[in-house]
Structure 1
Amino acid sequence: MESSISSAFAGSGKATRPDHLVLRLMTADDKDGVAALFTETFEREPLGEYHGVGVSEGQAIAQASIEDPVSFVVEDTALEGPHRLIAFRTSCIYTAAKLDMNQKKIQEEGGASDAVQAILNRMQDLWLKKTAVFESNPEARIMKFIALGVDLRYEGMGLAKELLNAAMDKAKEMRCDAVIVVASAFATQHLFRNRLGFQEMARLRYADFTWTNKNGIKERPFEKLVEPEFLLSFEMKLTYDR
């Protein structure tokens, strides 16, 4: 299903957050704050809650999020000290060349270093087999939503929605051909499918996923994860007035 940003996000309304909560582009100086908040918030997601999440994973997410100037953070300027980051929406830009380079790197390294990365790699492979974006435009640019995190003390203030709108606006500004996301929780799956009009591209039952760990042992790391039953990926093609 094709959709434009304007139709998908019409009626989002004016932001009502206080002036001391500032939404801006993420910079390299925000890496530590994003890593720490990711580690905290991902523990509440099905994958993180089931498998656990380490500081190194947060740092890897933060590093990947500054490769392209398309990630956003919210900081509370009323707080004293350097630890003022209270929300983030991280993204990156994919091209066919970058995806090919990432695939070669995974092969050279002998696969993913942990089960969470392994299942995300599998979802990427499933999406690539189904998407038609590169068929219509070999030079297509895809925005991938990497992660979202909001400090518990600031939930219910609409920050996640504002960060999403900012990211979608950035995708339009950069003339991206599509936006993709992997959704692990019921709430995000419902949001992207039913409220934002994204198309489901792939699903993988957690209990069926197998991988070979670094010790050469094949295992089912998520065999008891049943709520939700599936990990889903979604895509929205973007259209523009010519």
Structure 2
Amino acid sequence: MTVPEATAPTKQARPDHLVVRPMTAQDKEEVGKLFVATFKREPLGKYQGVRDTEGAAIAEAAMKDPVSFVVEDTTLEGPYRITKPDAKVMKFIALGVDTRYEGLGLAKTLLNVSMDKARQERCDAVVVVASAFATQHLFRNRLAFEEMGKIRYSEFVWKNPAKGGLEERPFEKLLEPEFLEIFEKRL
């Protein structure tokens, strides 16, 4: 009996109607919703949960940063078009791709465009906190970021100011992935 040889999945080419551009104020609501939808799929989001207000806060913060980009699907209409101590550092806060557009290389494209803009803004480095296996793999293996540190979720301690600084371990039962990882790439 002959077993067929496994083949690697072929990567689709990104269609021309998916255009990378700087984020605008008109994108805030959709970016916030996309952040919530994407983070709910991440292990940390599944474990801890994510509120719509968190997505809105991320989108609002992104508007203040000149290195925030979106991918616009120009075929769609309406609000659903987006799927050193003194060093100047771009903090890559969130990366999400609508499931309809996965496998087109959009995550990598968004990061590369953001890094190009960070270079133009004379940033020294890009830092990212990766909370899921997929993003950890992307930054470590595909984008050649250097791992700068990691923390085991079960050992993470937070001093809750709402409870007088009482120490809590909000992620102690989160076992996969085991670590939250921090990556950096010098520009």
Which bin holds the TM-score, normalised by the shorter protein?
0.7 to 0.9
State the match for 2:28 in structure 1.
31
Conserved 8 A contact 2:34-2:96 = yes
Q: Helix, strand or coil for the counterpart of 2:41?
A: coil
State the match for 1:60 in structure 2.
57
What amino acid maps onto 2:110 in structure 1? L
TM-score with structure 1 setting the length: 0.68
CA distance 1:83–1:191, change in 2 (3 Å): closer
Structure with greater proportional helix content = 1
Q: CA separation in 2, counterparts of 1:198 and 1:161?
A: 12
State the match for 1:151 in structure 2.
98
Q: CA separation in 2, counterparts of 1:173 and 1:84?
A: 27
Q: CA separation in 2, counterparts of 1:162 and 1:16?
A: 12
* Residues 193-226 of structure 1: per-residue CA shift (max 9 Å, x gap): 2332222212111001122332344321111111
Consecutive unaligned residues in structure 1, runs of 5 or more = 1-14, 87-132
Residues 1:182 and 2:179 aligned together: no
State the match for 2:114 in structure 1.
167
Among 52, 62, 78, the alignment partner of 1:81 is 78
Output the aligned Cα RMSD: 1.6
TM-fit CA distance, 1:76:
1.4
Among 151, 174, 180, the alignment partner of 1:231 is 180
Moved more, 154-163 or 47-56: 154-163
TM-fit CA distance, 1:16:
4.1
TM-fit CA distance, 1:24:
0.4
Moved more, 38-47 or 213-222: 213-222
Residues 1:21 and 2:18 aligned together: yes
Residues 1:220 and 2:175 aligned together: no
TM-fit CA distance, 1:23:
1.2
Conserved 8 A contact 2:72-2:81 = yes
Q: Which has the higher contact order (CA 8 A, sep 6+)?
A: 1
What amino acid maps onto 2:140 in structure 1? R
Q: CA separation in 2, counterparts of 1:204 and 1:176?
A: 26
TM-fit CA distance, 1:192:
1.7
Count of residues in Structure 1 that have an aligned counterpart in Structure 2: 174
Q: How does 1:100-115 map to 2 (within 5 A)?
A: none
Q: Helix, strand or coil for the counterpart of 2:115?
A: helix
Q: CA separation in 2, counterparts of 1:191 and 1:23?
A: 19
What amino acid maps onto 2:112 in structure 1? N
Consecutive unaligned residues in structure 2, runs of 5 or more = 1-11
Residues 1:50 and 2:47 aligned together: yes
